[in-house]
Each structure stands twice: as structure tokens, then as C-alpha cells.
């Protein structure tokens, strides 16, 4: 199919638009007011009525593409040379809020057979609500267009990252993970009231809660997966957990084998940063056959617990036959355990360091400009 280009002689090979919509043949991309039938340069004119698209259907939605089709009356159908597709983020239908100020909301496509695929990470983001409307157009010999009225406005929401996209993030994270360091405990910091509530109102249990929206916007676990966040990173010079934490001055520590063992599955969840040099990798630990395990099997890349670049559990073949645990040195691991944890399985004590609130990742937004942890789909 013809390679897309830009209207009005904007055809530089360096343009971010070149080749972005592989299945949608474009010969023009331009801004156009949604409430009018004329473009800003006055190139669209009204002639005899063209059929208005009816019963618009959106299907095959991914994080950065969708298929669109519609019905049309047969009158003047043979005159149609182009489709105008008006695409806007739902939260503000009257303004263009895309990452690049020169990215338009109207796509001008040649009249290819329907359904057609609209694909482009530079104007579609994952987990985002959009509105779409369509016009039919006929290009005349003088270069002007006759156009139909706009169709009804349809709403849809793009999807999460697929496993294909997550594997791309995984590969990027592996590059910077660094060497593996030994550890022996998982730990979870909270305030004193959190642990008091667990003892008094939750049967001494820490209960899973829904993951917040931190990390990649397209992460399939944000707002969906239930679990408990744990850390396992250690200080290089001591081999022990750091004494500072952004989440509270009281810390629950539990032996690593209580949460991570051969009866546990390990999944890669996300890779992100927050406009700093630190990079975070989210991993999920799910007991085999648990509800969390079933959730992750459908959505996340599985990791070999004995052979990966982030978190491993191996049999000690030279010692007592117990388990040995290692974590990546150069990324901060956020480990989600999908099941309740009894406080009796570990200890709670106050840390001697500080509560560094500035390092909290609660609802932290990913830096969309970082080349280390972003992939070529919506951020």
C-alpha cells in the first residue's frame, strides 16, 4: 500500500509522521475545525451532497491502533476519493493536546476498502478515551474537496500494553539491570497505624490492594492487579536493606523463601523512571494456581525464577541445599506479592533512618522522554 505522506508539500523524510500509520494510506494530514466543513487554508468546498457515514464501528483496538468501518448510502459513493477522520482525546474535544504541537487531530485517508486500520503511537496513547467522527470527501480536478456532513461521534478507549509490548520493555530493562547481589529478606515499610490496623481489624493479615497508576501508562496491572508491594534491594556495602524509606518508619521483614520459592511464579510487570537517573522494575510474585497467577498468565511475560536478570531463586548445590536469592543491583525492584501475608510470618520494627517522601513512587508518572525505558508505542 502507498506510503503515507503529508499535505501542503510537508514531505520531509525526517517528519515524525512518515510511515507511522502503516495500514492507513494517507495523502494528507491537516488540522481542521470540527464544527465546520472548511479547512484553515480554505481548500474544502461544498458541492453536491456526499453520503454521510452511518453506524460507525470500532474494533481490534490495541494500545496504539484500531480498525474502523461504517455503512454508506449508495448515492454518489463512486465519487468518494478520501475519508476525513476526526480523532480527539475525550477529555477535551475542542483542543489538541498531543505530545507534539504539530500533530493534527484530523486524518485524511484515501478511500481504501473498509475496515481500515488506523495506527500511530505519535497520536494514540494506551488506556486513553477518544472520540472519532468521519466525513466522506471527493477531490476535484482543481485540488478542492467536496465533503459530506460529519457522522455521529463515537467514543472508544485504547487498550493496555500487550505481552509483545511488555517484552520490549523487558528487553530494555535487562540491558541496565547490572550484576546480581544476594539478599535474604523481603521488606515492606508503612506507618505504625497500618500495622496496628492489620493486627486489630484484619486478623493479623496484610491484605492485597489494587495497584495504583504509577509507571507506564499502558501497564496492564495498574488499577487492576491486587497485591502487596515489597522491596528486596540491599545496600552494596552492608548487604542489608537500607535504613531509609519513603513509605513509613515501620518495616515488616519476612524471609525471602516465605514469598519466593519453587511454588511461586514470577512475572515482569513494568519498567519506568520518574525524571531521575533511577530506574524501577516492577515484578509480580504469584503462588502457582492463585487468582493473581491466573491474572498474570494472560497479561505478563513469565520469568524463569532461576535464570533472569532481576530476581532469582536457586538451590544451594554446594551448601545445605537451601534456597539462594539474588536481586539486580542497578535497578530498584518493586515486587508485588498477590496474596495476603500474615504478620506472624515475619517481624515489624522501626527503622533508624529517615522517611524520604521525595522517593515515593505512589501514582508516579513515567518520564515519556526517557530513551532508556520507553518503547515506540504510547507511553
- Condensed to tens digits (0 to 9), the pLDDT of residues 292-324 reads 999 999 999 999 999 999 999 999 878 777 899
Q: Provide DSSP, 42-92.
A: S-B---SPPPPPEEEEEES--SSEEEEEEE--STTGGG--EEEEEEEETT-
Kind of pairing, strands 332-337 and 279-287? parallel
From 119-128, 129-138, 222-231, the region with the lowest mean pLDDT: 119-128
Q: Which of 30-34, 266-270, 274-278 has the highest mean pLDDT?
A: 266-270
Question: For residue 39, which of 115, 98, 106 has the smallest C-alpha distance?
Answer: 106
Band (360; pLDDT cuts 50, 70, 90): low
- Separation between Cα atoms, residue 266 and residue 285, nearest integer Å: 5
Q: Buried (b) or exposed (e) across 216-236, using 16+ Cβ within 10 A?
A: bbbbbbbeebbbbbbbbbbee
Break the chain down into helix, strand, coil percent, rounded to 5: 10, 35, 55
Question: For residue 233, which of 366, 359, 335 has the smallest C-alpha distance?
Answer: 335
Question: For residue 361, which of 292, 280, 265 has the smallest C-alpha distance?
Answer: 280
Cell 497467577: give the residue.
293
Give the per-residue pLDDT at 356.
63
Is-above-0.85 flag for pTM? no
- Separation between Cα atoms, residue 22 and residue 5, nearest integer Å: 11
Amino acid at each position: 500500500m502507498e506510503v503515507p505522506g503529508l499535505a501542503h508539500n510537508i514531505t520531509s523524510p525526517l517528519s515524525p509522521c512518515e510511515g507511522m500509520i502503516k495500514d492507513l494510506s494517507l495523502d494528507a494530514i491537516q488540522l481542521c475545525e470540527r464544527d465546520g466543513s472548511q479547512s484553515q487554508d480554505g481548500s474544502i468546498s461544498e458541492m453536491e451532497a456526499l453520503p454521510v457515514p452511518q453506524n460507525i464501528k470500532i474494533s481490534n483496538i490495541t494500545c496504539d491502533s484500531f480498525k474502523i468501518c461504517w455503512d454508506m448510502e449508495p448515492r454518489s459513493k463512486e465519487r468518494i476519493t478520501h475519508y476525513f477522520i476526526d480523532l480527539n482525546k475525550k477529555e477535551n474535544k475542542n483542543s489538541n493536546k498531543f505530545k507534539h504541537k504539530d500533530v493534527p487531530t484530523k486524518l485524511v485517508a484515501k478511500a481504501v476498502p473498509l475496515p481500515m486500520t488506523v495506527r500511530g503511537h505519535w497520536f494514540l496513547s494506551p488506556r486513553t478515551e477518544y472520540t472519532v467522527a468521519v466525513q466522506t470527501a471527493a477531490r476535484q480536478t482543481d485540488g478542492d474537496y467536496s465533503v459530506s456532513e460529519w457522522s455521529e461521534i463515537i467514543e472508544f478507549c485504547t487498550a493496555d500494553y500487550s505481552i509483545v509490548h511488555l517484552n520490549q520493555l523487558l528487553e530494555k530493562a535487562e540491558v541496565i539491570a547490572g550484576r546480581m547481589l544476594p539478599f535474604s529478606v523481603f521488606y515492606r515499610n508503612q506507618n505504625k497505624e497500618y500495622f496496628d490496623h492489620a493486627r486489630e481489624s484484619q486478623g493479623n493479615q496484610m491484605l492485597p490492594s489494587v495497584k495504583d497508576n504509577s509507571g507506564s501508562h499502558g501497564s496492564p496491572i495498574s488499577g487492576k492487579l491486587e497485591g502487596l508491594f515489597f522491596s528486596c534491594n540491599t545496600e552494596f556495602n552492608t548487604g542489608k536493606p537500607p535504613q531509609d524509606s519513603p513509605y513509613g518508619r515501620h518495616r515488616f521483614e519476612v524471609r525471602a523463601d516465605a514469598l519466593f520459592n519453587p511454588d511461586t511464579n514470577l512475572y515482569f510487570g513494568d519498567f519506568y523512571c520518574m525524571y531521575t537517573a533511577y530506574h524501577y522494575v516492577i515484578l509480580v510474585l504469584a503462588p502457582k494456581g492463585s487468582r493473581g497467577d491466573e491474572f498474570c498468565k494472560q497479561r505478563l511475560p513469565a520469568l524463569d525464577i532461576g535464570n533472569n536478570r532481576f530476581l532469582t531463586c536457586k538451590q544451594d548445590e554446594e551448601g545445605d541445599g537451601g534456597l539462594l536469592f539474588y536481586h539486580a543491583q542497578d535497578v530498584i525492584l518493586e515486587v508485588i506479592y498477590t496474596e495476603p501475608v500474615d504478620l506472624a510470618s515475619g517481624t515489624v520494627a522501626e527503622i533508624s533512618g529517615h522517611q524520604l517522601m521525595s522517593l515515593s513512587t505512589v501514582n508516579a508518572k513515567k518520564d515519556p522522554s526517557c530513551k532508556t525505558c520507553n518503547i515506540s508505542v504510547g507511553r
